[in-house]
């Protein structure tokens, strides 16, 4: 079973670059399933339904994952997240109780051609502004609660800041899931690894967005944070037409759920 995965699609340049490269990548890899993180798809500040529909009309993506920006446009996205046919999931470990409700779900099971894939979205507590439940404990609970008897593969989008957490989660879940990949930091890492019990990991799958940018943001709108220590001001998406599209292809043994191979994808081009 082949799963084509894309990291954070960032803003207008990211959307257009992704759409430009999408068909060729599908023809090249013939994936069974496609996953894309779209939490930055709308100007780099969360998704809106208009841009999700744009992707739906032009692509056949099975699951949209997200992260800490999922609720940046809360009133636009909340109804879409709760729809039965929604392709989008949000971090599963937001705190929920009788006083507080978060729209959407933290996982999705998709089925095609007799193959079933479980996709889980989880977020770190370390260096992230949102206060969430321990991701290690939450995903452990989920794997006990979800019926895995006829699942052929399990993919985890771990939205995080640190590199060490991916490896720690890799050891914690080794042999329990097929593949864990990082999103959020937007820079593809060169550390793909299959763990001893055949769980694959990749610290960050990278972004689709403007190449000459500060992880998608225009340098002129962000430089004061580095040069003057001032955290105010509005970060603007970079609109330079040079782009990068990043992702990976993961091959999974559909009988054992084990990761067989990880191939990184990184394409540069101009719109």
Residue ranges of the domains in the chain?
2-270
Strand partners, 268: 244
Is-catalytic flag, 69? Answer: yes
Q: Can you name the CATH fold of 2-270? A: Purple Acid Phosphatase; chain A, domain 2 (3.60.21)
Which residue is catalytic, options 69, 159, 184, 186?
69
Distance separating alpha carbons of residues 76 and 52, to the nearest angstrom: 11
Burial status of residue 1 (CB atoms within 10 A of its CB: 0-12, 13-18, 19 or more): buried
CA angle 210, 214, 215 (to 5 degrees): 65
Token readout for 45 is: 């500040």
User: What pLDDT tens digit does each residue of the chain (271 aa) get?
Assistant: 999 999 999 999 999 999 999 999 999 999 999 999 999 999 878 999 999 999 999 999 999 999 999 999 999 999 999 999 999 999 999 998 888 889 999 999 999 999 999 999 999 998 888 889 999 999 999 999 999 999 999 999 999 999 999 999 999 999 999 999 999 999 999 999 999 999 999 999 999 999 999 999 999 998 988 888 777 778 899 999 999 999 999 999 999 999 999 999 999 999 9
The pTM of this model reads 0.95
Report pLDDT for 231. Answer: 74
How far apart, in whole angstroms, are the C-alpha atoms of residue 168 and residue 160? Answer: 12
């Amino acid at each position: 079973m082949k799963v084509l995965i894309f990291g954070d699609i960032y803003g207008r340049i990211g959307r257009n670059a992704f759409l430009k490269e999408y068909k060729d990548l599908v023809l090249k890899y013939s994936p069974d399933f496609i996953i894309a993180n779209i939490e930055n798809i709308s100007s780099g500040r969360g998704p809106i339904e208009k841009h999700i529909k744009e992707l739906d009309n032009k692509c056949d993506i099975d699951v949209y994952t997200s992260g800490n920006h999922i609720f940046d446009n809360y009133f636009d996205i909340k109804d879409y997240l709760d729809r039965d046919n929604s392709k989008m999931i949000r971090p599963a470990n937001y705190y929920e109780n009788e006083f507080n409700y978060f729209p959407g779900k933290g996982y999705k099971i998709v089925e095609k051609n007799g193959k079933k894939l479980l996709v889980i979205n989880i977020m770190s507590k370390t260096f992230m502004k949102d206060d969430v439940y321990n991701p290690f404990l939450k995903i452990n609970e989920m794997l006990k609660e979800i019926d895995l008897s006829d699942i052929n593969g399990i993919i985890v989008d771990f939205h995080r800041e640190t590199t060490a957490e991916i490896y720690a989660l890799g050891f914690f879940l080794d042999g329990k899931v097929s593949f864990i990949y990082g999103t959020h930091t937007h820079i593809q890492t060169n550390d793909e690894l299959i763990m001893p019990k055949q769980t694959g990991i990749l610290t960050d799958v990278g972004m689709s967005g403007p190449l000459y940018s500060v992880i998608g943001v225009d340098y002129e709108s962000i430089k004061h944070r580095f040069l003057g220590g001032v955290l105010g001001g509005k970060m603007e998406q970079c609109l330079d037409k040079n782009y990068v599209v990043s992702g990976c292809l993961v091959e999974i043994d559909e009988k054992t759920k084990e990761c067989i191979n990880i191939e990184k994808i990184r394409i540069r081009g101009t719109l």
